[in-house]
Amino acid sequence: MTEIIKPSLEKVIVTENLTKKFGHFTAVDHISFEVNRGEIFGFLGANGAGKTTAMRMLCGLSKPTSGEGTVAGFDIHKQPEMVKKNIGYMSQKFSLYDDLKVWENIELFGGIYGMTDNEIKLKTDELMGRLNFESERDNLVKSLPLGFKQKLAFSVSIFHTPKVVFLDEPTGGVDPITRRKFWEMIYEAAASGITVFVTTHYMDEAEYCDRVSIMVDGRIEALDSPANLKEQYNARNMDGVFQQLARKAKRVDS
């Protein structure tokens, strides 16, 4: 890790009464929050609480029914293309092209985000060296172990140095040691100024975040640093906080 940039007060994500309705069902119900630059923002909630829908709206994949939002300074209603240019996204499946080689995947996604060949080449070399991936460079992605794939998917999602990276349950299915290592990568990214917006089911991971929001039934029930939340709910750990809040949920897991 190089120098650590403390979360500054520059707002990278701002939402105000962001709402998404599917027919009569309100998936996301007037959520308002702000995320600062370089922050690691944990986005928690039970299945069906509206996390994914909220994230899809912020990524420009889904149009909000009402409410405002800006991501990286761009309006999610009016400038979805600009939003997309300035964000990275990593899915829970660590989606990469299995039948392409490691470097081909990097080149493809770099190209999609409009990076020049030269830039891609330089950064690929640097990345391979940093991750100790040199030996895997020409291997097909499908032959990589899951932990490697996860690292690669994350590296690809921040390859074009976006302002924000959205991680959708990025640590599903990997062992605790790999998870721990993965969080080190997240810290590095945040330290370099990339804002990290991460959803997770693991409450121990919530402790690693700078701030955490907990969604229940489409609304944000709590939003603060893990330490403050634990104090407020008089809980020993984040799991305790989550249990208290999630119990209020009326929506049945679908």
Partner 1 sequence: MILLLMPVIQIILFGFAMSTEVKNTKVVVLANQADEVTHQLIERIDASQYFEIAVIAHNSGDIDNAFRDGTAKLAIIFENGFSKKLTHDGKAHIQLIADATDPNAATSFVFYAGNIINSYRQELMPVQSAAGMIQPEVKMLYNPQMISAYNFVPGVLGMIMLLICAMMTSIAIVREKEMGTMEILLVSPMKPIYTMLSKIAPYFVLSVINFATIMLLSVYVLHVPVSGSFISLVFISLLYIFVSLALGLLISTITSTQLAAMFISGMGLMLPVMLLSGMIFPIENMPGILRFISNFVPARWYIDAVKTIMIKGLSITDVGTDVAVLSVMAVLLVIASVKKFKVRLE
Residues that bind partner 1 (CB under 8 A): 59-63, 81, 84-85, 87, 89, 91-98, 109, 112-114, 166
Outline where DSSP puts E strands in the chain.
Answer: 11-22, 25-36, 40-45, 66-71, 74-75, 87-90, 164-168, 195-199, 211-216, 219-224
Distance from C-alpha of 47 to C-alpha of 45, rounded to nearest angstrom: 7
Q: Which is nearer to partner 1, 78 or 93 (CB)?
A: 93
* Residues whose CB is less than 8 angstroms from the CB of residue 137 and which lie 6 or more positions away in sequence, other chains included: 101, 102, 103, 128
Smallest gap from Cβ 68 to partner 1, in A, equals 18
Q: Which is nearer to partner 1, 61 or 122 (CB)?
A: 61
Smallest gap from Cβ 207 to partner 1, in A, equals 28
Q: Which is nearer to partner 1, 133 or 166 (CB)?
A: 166
Residue in the block written with tokens 């944990």? 42
Q: Which is nearer to partner 1, 98 or 138 (CB)?
A: 98
- How far out from the chain centre does Cα 82 lie? 18
From residue 72, give the alpha-carbon distance in Å to each of 58, 87, 163.
Answer: 10, 8, 6
Distance from C-alpha of 100 to C-alpha of 97, rounded to nearest angstrom: 5
Smallest gap from Cβ 139 to partner 1, in A, equals 18
Smallest gap from Cβ 20 to partner 1, in A, equals 9
Residue in the block written with tokens 């309006």? 75
Smallest gap from Cβ 125 to partner 1, in A, equals 23
Q: Which is nearer to partner 1, 200 or 216 (CB)?
A: 200
Q: Which is nearer to partner 1, 87 or 206 (CB)?
A: 87
Count of residues making up the chain: 254
Smallest gap from Cβ 5 to partner 1, in A, equals 25
Distance from C-alpha of 13 to C-alpha of 54, rounded to nearest angstrom: 12
Distance from C-alpha of 9 to C-alpha of 240, rounded to nearest angstrom: 30
Q: Which is nearer to partner 1, 98 or 117 (CB)?
A: 98
- How far out from the chain centre does Cα 193 lie? 14
Distance from C-alpha of 220 to C-alpha of 28, rounded to nearest angstrom: 9
Smallest gap from Cβ 94 to partner 1, in A, equals 8
